[in-house]
Amino acid sequence: MSHGLSVDQVSFRYGAKQALDGVSFDVAPGRFAALLGPNGAGKSTLFGLLTRLFTTPDGTIRVAGCDIASEPRRALGQMGVVFQSPTLDLDLTIRQNLAYFAALQGLSGRDAARRIDAALDRLDIAERAGEKARNLNGGHRRRTEIARALIHEPKVLLLDEATVGLDAAARQSITDHVHRLCAEDGLTVLWATHLTDEVQDSDRLVVLHQGRILADGETAALRGPDSLKDYFLRVTGLPEAA
Ligand SMILES: Nc1ncnc2c1ncn2[C@@H]1O[C@H](COP(=O)(O)OP(=O)(O)OP(=O)(O)O)[C@@H](O)[C@H]1O
């Protein structure tokens, strides 16, 4: 599990509200894992713990082999994160947004320029590098955020509802890009979503509902002859409208 992600018996409460209850799953190195759950399932809470926005004494999280509680700097250094809310500075160009993040990571000069170019190329946005983020559509802004999350060459990429607010074509393009990063670069990905159509049959699937893991395995095997949507509704007991 040296380049993967491991979550073991993690629990978290907001006061009396149990948001996560004994959550355990592993993502093997180079795998794309979809963390699928409806609103309120606990996805953002788990991301908060994975990124150390907050901590819990209950359970263990390992990122690329590093325990996030005892080796937080090493663990976070192996992690790239794309949060649900957009975080680009709209008045800066794409390149400036990336350069700023690189500087925060202690990178500058040629090394930073090389990594920025590689990240822009990887996400097919190199030709827009000189444009202000404000002028980009939602899909290209998201690609920029993904490129930025990869500058320090992490082993594990976390994305929390990365396609929120995008149209169907942009959603498809972003999910395809991230799948390609997995397949071609060996990146380990945890992709949180409430949308079943973002999950591919070859993905690892972890279903989270009301703070608990309800299913964990290969998507195609779990859903069997059902559509993923039908499987998801059945396993969570949610009504069709959900
Ligand atoms: N600050 C808070 N105080 C109390 N309860 C909270 C707080 N934040 C989240 N919760 C509750 O914890 C549970 C998990 O919330 P969380 O935001 O992690 O879910 P989610 O799967 O990310 O949902 P969404 O997609 O709507 O963000 C929900 O029942 C939510 O109401």
For 205-232, how does the pLDDT look when each residue is reduced to its tens digit (9 = 90+)? 999 999 999 999 999 999 999 999 999 9
Q: Is 16 in the pocket of ligand 1 (CB under 6 A)?
A: no
Check residue 241 and give its pLDDT: 64
> By alpha-carbon position, which residue is closest to atom 2 of ligand 1?
14
**Burial status of residue 140 (CB atoms within 10 A of its CB: 0-12, 13-18, 19 or more):** buried
* Residue 4 contacts residue 186 (beta carbons within 8 Å): no
Per-residue pLDDT tens over the stretch 88-116: 999 999 999 999 999 988 888 898 999 99
Sheet holding 32-36, edge to edge: 79-82, 156-160, 188-193, 32-36, 204-209, 212-218
Q: Per-residue confidence at 19, pLDDT binned at 50, 70, 90?
A: very high
**Residue 210, both tokens:** 């009301």
What percentage of the chain has pLDDT greater than the value 70? Answer: 98
User: Residue 152 contacts by C-beta under 8 Å, 6 or more apart in sequence?
Assistant: 77, 80, 102, 105, 107, 115
pLDDT grade, residue 172 (50/70/90)? very high
44 lines ligand 1 (CB under 6 A): yes
- Distance in Å, CA 158 to ligand 1 centroid: 18
Report the separation in Å between the CA atom of 215 and the middle of ligand 1, taken as the mean of its atom positions. Answer: 20
Name the amino acid, one letter, at 115.
R
Ligand 1 binding pocket includes 128 (Cβ within 6 Å): no
Would you place residue 26 in the very low, low, confident or very high pLDDT band (cuts 50, 70, 90)?
A: very high
Question: With 0-12 CB in 10 A as exposed, 13-18 as middle and 19+ as buried, what is 92?
Answer: middle
> Which residue type does 191 have?
W
- The interface pTM score, or ipTM, of the predicted complex is 0.95
**Residue 17, ligand 1, Cβ within 6 A:** yes
Instruction: Kindly indicate the confidence band of residue 52, based on its pLDDT and cuts at 50, 70 and 90.
Output: very high
pTM of the model: 0.93
Contacts of 24 (CB under 8 A, 6+ apart): 7, 8, 9, 10, 59, 213
- Atom number, ligand 1, closest to the C-alpha of residue 194: 25
Decide: 36 and 46 in contact? Cβ < 8 Å: no
Q: What is the distance between the alpha carbons of residues 191 and 202, in angstroms, rounded to a whole number? A: 14
- Residue 208 alpha carbon to ligand 1 centre in Å: 12
Closest residue to atom 11 of ligand 1, CA basis: 19
Domains and CATH numbers, the chain: 1-78+156-242 (3.40.50.300), 88-153 (no CATH)
Ligand 1 atom nearest to 41, measured from its CA: 21
Q: What ligand 1 atom has the least distance to the C-alpha of 15?
A: 4
pLDDT tens digits along 110-161: 989 999 999 898 888 899 999 999 999 999 999 999 999 999 999 999 999 9
The dihedral formed by the CA atoms of 151, 182, 122 and 115, expressed in degrees to the nearest 10: 20
CA distances from 19 to 38, 46, 165, 242 (A): 13, 9, 25, 19
- Confidence (pLDDT) at 86: 86
CA distance 172 to 182: 16
